[in-house]
Chain A
Amino acid sequence: MRRSAAFTITLFLFLATAARADAAVPTPQATAAKIDNLLLSEIFAGKRQNLSSKVDDETFLRRITLDLIGELPTPGEITEFTFDPDDAKYSKAIARLLNNKLYGRNWARYWRDVILYRRSEDRALLSAGPVEKYLEEQFNTNVPWNKVARSFITAKGSIRDDGSTALIMAQQGRPDETVAEISRIFMGIQIQCAQCHDHKTDRWTREQFHELVAFFPRVAVRRDGQKKPPVFNVVADDGPAFRRANQANRLRGTPEHYMPDLEKPTAKGTLMKPKFFLTGKQLPLGTRDQDRRAQLATWITTDDNVWFANAYVNRMWSELIGEGFFEPVDDMGPDRKPNAPKALATLAGAFVESGYDTKWLITTIMSTDAYQRQSRDRRKGHEKPFAANCPQRLRGDQLFNALTTALGIPEGGNASTYLAASRGPRAQFNAGFGYDPSFDRTEVRMSIPQALAMMNSPLISRFMTAAPNTALGKLLAQIKDDEAAIVELYLRCLAREPTDKELKTCLAYRKEIASRNEAFEDLLWSLINSTEFLHRR
């Protein structure tokens, strides 16, 4: 197996400092080293014995390519990378992929799923395309995370023109569900459990939840005429009460929020003032919608609110390392203890100092030893966290990309239309293979229909035959040598060369089968259906 050259922190430091004019922001590499040291002392008592060793070049390249742009590296890229003698090739590869526009798209799709998997109804899927487009731009131009969060909280207007309306659209503008999602996604706090009764495990009260709802009563989602395909608008209404809002079909907001009386569901309930549960800061009744939501956004995204930075850092860490400081990623507290609290505080602190720079954070995490270790199965309860990277099941989009790349399938459909992201081939695939990215990954399991589709779907199988016009057919025509063809197939499907043992198995199988085409079709089928294909190691 090929090994990368020694990994030198000092060189990284030099390169990174040179690149950054703003010396006040800690470099990713310096921060990464600090985090690794903290983990070593906080979790492993300074002992390295049980830590997984550093990953090999091929696995690293596949890992960062899937993590950054949601694709498999090409055989050309793999060869180039593994033979590159540069000591700094890891950080160079990260930087190269961060500049690929697919980077923004990959993470846009991730957050699209975070928001839309919790939709209250399927019409919210109309937001899939717009939110993807909006976030792609934010990530690619590196808009700070606090700005992105603010835009979702204060969004208004057509869901077609402004993707930041997606979070509100996903909950049909219902104030209670919308604020619950804002709290969950941007602060990792699930205060909605206090919706009906005081929280059993956390300290928030029902009243505090409804005070948070009171920032959103004037918001509603309304269909824009009878346009086809349908378009909805997020609207805000500062007028007087129109009539008692119909909770089922809420077409306009109400001036203020009333906490329902659980004993008397038909009564008007208690008038609530907008008040932020973390600080107790509040606004007077009668405040305009625009001011309410802007103020809430400010209070949530302020540097003093540690939950805001923690939520993003924890999520990204979990996504990249395979386990968060807190799990599940969207339920952090306030009365729960993280794995390695100092490491989390340090990383979150540095993220704030960076100005909520999302590219900075991803570079930092990818520069840690914790990220660059060989993966192991999810730890059992008694084992320590972060001793290895964890294999992650590919998300729907990543798997779709991997399949289309490995098999040379054209994506199909017009990806640029308003509805493509909710109705096109990719969306259909995602409906079958996607999962809610906020879920604890131990809960994400493959289903029988998924296995059946991978094995037998005529749509996929067509591209696994060695016909003259398929990628496999062309490969076999070009490469007459069996061993070379096997290696090429491995590179395409798993982004690595086969091990000696695998090569032997494949060649033995090839010998057994009279038809070369048939043998290779079977091999391709097996690689596509393997555990490894489905996971990023």
Chain B
Amino acid sequence: MTHRLVRHSDVNINRRGQLHRRDLLRALPAVGLAAGALGWTDLVSLQAEELRKKGMSCVLLWMQGGPSQFETFSPKPKHKNGGETKAISTSVAGIHYAENLPQVAKIADELCVIRSMSSKEASHPRATYLLHTGQVPLAAVKFPTLGSIVAHNLGDDQADLPSFVRIGARFQNSGSGGILGVQYDPFVMASAGRLPNNTTPNTPEDRYRRRLGLLGKLEDDYQQQGGEQAVKDHQQVYDKASRMILSPRMDAFDIEKESRTMQQAYGSSEFGRGCLMARRLLQAGVPMVEVSLGNWDTHTDNSKRSKDLCGRLDQPYAQLIRDLKQQGMLERTLVIWMGEFGRTPRINPRGGRDHFAPAFNAVLAGGGVKGGQVIGATDAGGQAVIDRRVGVLDLFQTFCHSLGIDADDENDTPIGRSIKIVDGGEVVEEVFS
């Protein structure tokens, strides 16, 4: 046990962002830690609630390229538009998913599938922006992306880890902090396989600290010659960055710290590792993680390619939900599955499906969402929504409701125009009841 305490002892820690050493010591006996049974993860998760302002957090599983609804959550095996994909039953009587998602089908009782998503944007960049921000692109205003909204509202400015981590390949128009400022930009990791870029000092820690000391001394002169505020701001960012990389909480980025069994449960794919890291980050107090999987843009050979993509989605997605549930975190974590649009009911001559915005799927779980249900419906051929149309704004209202964010809160643009977090739409009440 002693070595763990030593490990924490030099961390300068405050109420929300980090553990107070004193708090830690106080917390230990309470959970029988004296027995030495708990590892690092348990230590930090003790206070994960405290680390987030409202205890809520969010994971966005972003399906880049626009997944086919027919091959995922809205199979239409009886109609020619449904193609070859069969439907399978799920853990909920009467609800069927596409055969490509056998593992996810087993946790259907946790999922709320919205089959009646509908929008007008069918180009990748514009729709990606819309589904990330709830707004169409506008030259004059850079709207904040969902993760930045969550970080701004639920994150703690004093935390040693970033409030918004984005894992996975880059794709355009997924947005940033925009008018909220760079401090709410995503902390981007190209891959979940290794520590994020530039978080390892190039020198041993004592030399790194020494350098910071020299830097501080050399700033004196400029500070006294008209640069007081500039130096102060600069040092604040450097302090925060240094605190982050010297923090023991950086372990949250290291999935090798998980047991073999746990790693295997998520699978070794890039997306699986991303999902596992997402769970670790949430445990360490990060309120928002976005993990992406692509490329769902199946203009050719849709059936086979969607099957393959579902193969990469199925296990990690199901495991993430299961794991969050087991850790007692699911109730306080909203897990969103969506892409920028769906795909055309008609299968094109190349066996593909093209972009289709009038009717597609989004799936919610956790965060107070009532699982085991389907909301909305399309006609027999999946051409049009015939029941309970849900627009993008409605969806964003629903996110905010789940996370306890006031969607009417306003943020100012650089030219002083106030913009609501979600400008219109209504909460889809059925999601929660």
Contacts and interface: CB of A to CB of B under 8 A. Distances in A.
B227 A118 contact: no
B138 A501 contact: no
A456 B198 CA distance: 5
Interface stretch (A26-34, A132-140, A371-379): A371-379
A537 B123 contact: no
B226 interface: yes
Nearest to B122: A248
A180 B187 CA distance: 32
B241 A502 contact: no
Contact of A448 (B123, B126, B218, B244): B244
Interface in B165-220: 172-173, 181-183, 185, 187-188, 197-202, 207, 210-211, 214-215, 217-220
A331 interface: yes
Given A328-B414, A440-B414, A445-B181, A531 B126 contact: no
Interface stretch (A79-87, A252-260, A277-285, A519-527): A519-527
A14 interface: no
Contact of A452 (B230, B245, B416): B245
A177 interface: yes
Size category, B interface: 35 or more
Interface in A36-53: 52
B192 to A, nearest CB: 17
Interface in B209-266: 210-211, 214-215, 217-223, 225-231, 233-235, 237-238, 240-242, 244-245
Name the residue among B202, B207, B217, B220 with the largest chain A CB count within 10 angstroms. B202
Contacts of B125: 120-123
B139 A451 contact: no
B106 interface: no
B215 A530 contact: yes
B214 A523 contact: yes
A446 interface: yes
B190 to A, nearest CB: 12
B201 A537 contact: no
A100 interface: no
Interface string A313-346: 0000000000000001001000000000000000
B239 to A, nearest CB: 9
Contacts of B211: 522, 525-526
Contacts of A529: 215, 238
A447 B172 contact: no
B219 A531 contact: yes
B184 to A, nearest CB: 10
Interface string A507-528: 0010000000010001101110
A509 B228 CA distance: 24
A16 to B, nearest CB: 30
Contacts of B241: 448, 451-452, 455
Nearest to A444: B182
Contacts of B120: 247-248
A505 B213 CA distance: 11
A501 B217 CA distance: 10
A181 interface: yes
B198 A505 contact: no
B197 A391 contact: no
B121 interface: yes
Contacts of B55: none
Interface in A249-279: 249
A66 interface: no
A181 B139 contact: yes
Given A248-B122, A523-B214, A537-B227, A453 B139 contact: no
A449 B218 contact: no
A531 B139 contact: no
Given A122-B125, A248-B126, A449 B198 contact: yes
A104 B313 CA distance: 50
B412 to A, nearest CB: 10
Size category, A interface: 35 or more
B197 to A, nearest CB: 7
B140 interface: yes
Contacts of A527: 218
Contacts of A525: 211, 215
A148 B299 CA distance: 42
A506 B221 CA distance: 13
B197 A453 contact: yes
Name the residue among A121, A458, A506 with the largest chain B CB count within 10 angstroms. A121
Interface string B140-163: 100000000000000000000010
Nearest to A195: B138
Contact of B221 (A440, A501, A526): A501
Nearest to A120: B137
Contact of B139 (A171, A446, A449): A171
A445 B415 CA distance: 17
B172 A526 contact: no
Contacts of A388: 226
Nearest to A529: B215
Nearest to A518: B207
Given A461-B202, A505-B217, A448 B162 contact: yes
Contacts of B7: none
Contacts of A310: none
Nearest to B242: A455
B216 to A, nearest CB: 9
A388 B228 CA distance: 14
A531 B230 contact: yes
B26 interface: no
21 contacts: A118-B140, A120-B126, A121-B126, A171-B139, A249-B122, A374-B225, A377-B227, A377-B228, A447-B183, A448-B244, A449-B188, A450-B237, A452-B244, A452-B245, A456-B199, A458-B202, A522-B207, A522-B210, A532-B222, A535-B230, A537-B227
Given A446-B182, A501-B220, A531-B230, 18 more contacts: A122-B173, A248-B120, A248-B121, A331-B414, A377-B226, A440-B414, A445-B182, A445-B237, A446-B234, A448-B240, A449-B197, A455-B201, A456-B198, A522-B210, A523-B214, A529-B238, A530-B218, A530-B234
The 4 closest A-B pairs by CB, nearest first: A121-B125, A122-B172, A452-B198, A118-B139
